[in-house]
Amino acid sequence: MDKLAGAMGTRAGLALRLAQAIFSVGSLLFMCLDVSVFSYSYAPFCFLVATMGLVTPWSLGLATIDAFLVLVKRPSHQARVLSAVVLGDWVLSVLSLSVSCSTFSVVDYLIASGSPNCRGNICRRYQLSAAMAFLTWILSLTSLLFNLWLLPTLY
């Protein structure tokens, strides 16, 4: 199994990493830009910012490695490296899922209870941020599954 589209070191893998980086940056921007201080008193919002702040450099770093491997046309066949990438993807995907669900539920409650903190479109922006974190989870999981599929063939 020389090339599995979507695994590390392929064009599809590079596209997945870039999409993860774009969505995590989008999630950070929707959550952080032009927001009053109150939102940082909610734990889920802080965790979302922290998690997306981890996902962004992770995805960008792996995108750089993927771009290099695509340019030299040599998919990575090192089992240890791939195991570390799978483990990192798994941790970050679990974190992304939990923060997106937590943020969704708190924002849903804020809107339903007519909170004065939800004036303007601020709560819609939090929802968009949570939706982008959820998309980041789906993309991380896709990368994880492709690399996990490739892993047993390397041992």
Q: How many residues bind a copy of itself (CB under 8 A)?
A: 19
**Of the residues 114, 116, 120, 152, which one makes contact with a copy of itself according to CB under 8 A:** 152
Cβ atoms within 10 Å of 63's Cβ, excluding its own: 19
Comparing C-alpha atoms, which of 36, 150, 129, 25 is closest to residue 82? 150
Rounded Cα distance between 146 and 86, Å, is 9
Comparing C-alpha atoms, which of 3, 35, 39, 30 is closest to residue 115? 39
Q: Between 117 and 121, whose beta carbon lies closer to a copy of itself?
A: 117
Q: Between 6 and 44, whose beta carbon lies closer to a copy of itself?
A: 44
Cβ atoms within 10 Å of 109's Cβ, excluding its own: 10
Let me know: does 63 contact 14? Beta carbons within 8 Å.
yes
Q: Between 25 and 151, whose beta carbon lies closer to a copy of itself?
A: 151
Q: Between 63 and 82, whose beta carbon lies closer to a copy of itself?
A: 82
User: Measured from the CB of residue 96, what is the shortest distance to a copy of itself in angstroms?
Assistant: 11
* Interface stretch with a copy of itself, choices 10-18, 51-59, 71-79, 100-108 (CB under 8 A): 100-108
* Interface stretch with a copy of itself, choices 15-23, 32-40, 74-82, 95-103 (CB under 8 A): 95-103
Let me know: does 75 contact 2? Beta carbons within 8 Å.
yes
Is position 146 an interface residue for a copy of itself (rule: CB under 8 A)? no
**Of the residues 91, 108, 128, 154, which one makes contact with a copy of itself according to CB under 8 A:** 108
Q: Which of residues 31-50 bind a copy of itself (CB under 8 A)?
A: 41-44
| 3-class DSSP string for 95-110 | HHHHHHHHHHHHHHHH
Residues that bind a copy of itself (CB under 8 A): 41-44, 94, 97-99, 101-106, 108-110, 112, 152
